[in-house]
Amino acid sequence: MIPNARTLAVAGAAAAAVLVWFGLQTRSPGAVTVPAPPGPPAGAAVPLHAAVGNTGCMSAACHGNSAAKALSGTFDASTWEGSGTCWAARDPHTRAYSLLTDKPMRPVRATAAQIMERMHSPVPATEDARCLACHSNPALAARDSKDPHVVALRQEGVGCESCHGNASGWLRPHTTWKADTKAEYAAAGMTPLFDVGDRAATCLGCHVGAPADPERGIAVRDMNHDMIAAGHPRLNFDFAEFHRELPKHWQEKERTASGPKPRGPEFDARLWLVGRVAQAEAACMLLASRADRAKAGDPRTPWPELAEFNCAACHHDLPEPWRSEPAARGDRPLGALKWQTIWPVTAGAEFGAVRPVVTAMQRARPAGYGEIGPLAHQSAAKLSELRQNLVGAADADLVSRSRQAFVGGVGGNPEWDTDGQVLWGLAALQRSRLIDRPAGEFDRAFDAVRRRDWASARPLLDALARP
């Protein structure tokens, strides 16, 4: 068989990518050259917020310079010069698209082909908007799957524009901006990721899900129970913890104040608390979207959507009776499913914005889509306001609120999700050095939570969290 031009082009791009990767593994990291995708058809109109592709950012004069310092953990005012190189060398998001193909770049329990077969999908994952919306630039998921320009851009995975926004409106202007103002970002279509609240919301668009955004051309992002049952891993996310694990390609600094300054010691606690509120906001927005789509008769949106609920509400060991005891159920009727856990937001009275949703979803018969839709929209709006307030909160106020979550905030007999989320929060407080306590006290608290020994864990958490 004689290969056609497209086959040769794809093979050449793949070979170049392999050479780039191999070079980064065997020498000191420097500039990365990423093959340019084919451009749009001649004469085609380019909208204001069109995708440009990673190559628009990767030249040596922009973000494709040496990343040696960043890759070794040193960040300074020149980090931006090699941020694209750093991303290409280490960021796990570069592998996102490969998971939709028959050659995933990391181990998987179920391949995309197996998942799509079990879901009876008429198209492969590389052409299904439900998959592309989070495994590539979400703004390209709903586009024509056969357009070679779009196909090439999707194959870049979750790249620069997936998080920063399509670059055609800001690629040139952002090099001359004198201040990092949200107004300039919004006008040009660039996401202000220097704001940790917007940063969290951007991550959560895929790591929880999000409604469609027709203005930006973004398809709905909804990884539901059908996908989980077919083999897709469930989404298990904590913004502060994932942020810690992500290889940094930027210098972290405060830019929402008057002039850039280094982040203070409370930053990890800020990431944690803002991230928890942003996650509850994202969950309410997705719930509202599911309700709206179910009300409109969308055949892909059953009601109730089982992915809304805590997995262990159904998937648990039957011989253990503690889940039916009043201490574990709280105000839930016997037999009612527990809504998803976003500790401490869904657990405490302090976060009243989400309580109407929790109460309605945890009735013996969960609320119908006609009732829950407006409630979820209202809760999301209130949580969005709270998120923005926390971003601008003084350090002392943020410290107080972060600590307060641990003082009597773990009631009943918590299930597995709460266990893990308490550990993530405790780790964030320890990293932020907000609590002046011997390391041994943290170790004992971690150990008690891991063993699910809550009789010992509660007083330890209370002692650590009190000033």
E-state strands within 120-272: 253-254, 261-262
Render pLDDT for 79-128 as a digit per residue (tens, 0 to 9): 999 999 999 999 999 999 999 999 999 999 999 999 999 999 999 999 99
Whether the pLDDT of residue 260 is over 70: the answer is: no
The pair of structure tokens assigned to 297 is 């008769």
Dist. CA 54–CA 61, nearest whole Å: 14
End-to-end Cα distance, the chain: 73
Render pLDDT for 199-251 as a digit per residue (tens, 0 to 9): 999 999 999 999 999 888 899 999 999 999 999 999 999 999 999 999 999 99
Render pLDDT for 21-67 as a digit per residue (tens, 0 to 9): 434 444 344 444 444 444 555 554 445 588 999 988 998 889 999 99
Q: How far is CA 241 from CA 92, 130, 258, 423, 429, in A?
A: 15, 26, 28, 10, 11
Residue with tokens 């991550």: 203
What's the mean pLDDT in 421-431? 87
Cβ distance 379 to 342 under 8 Å?
Answer: no
DSSP β-ladder status, 261-262 and 253-254:
antiparallel
Whether the pLDDT of residue 283 is over 70: the answer is: yes
pTM of structure: 0.86
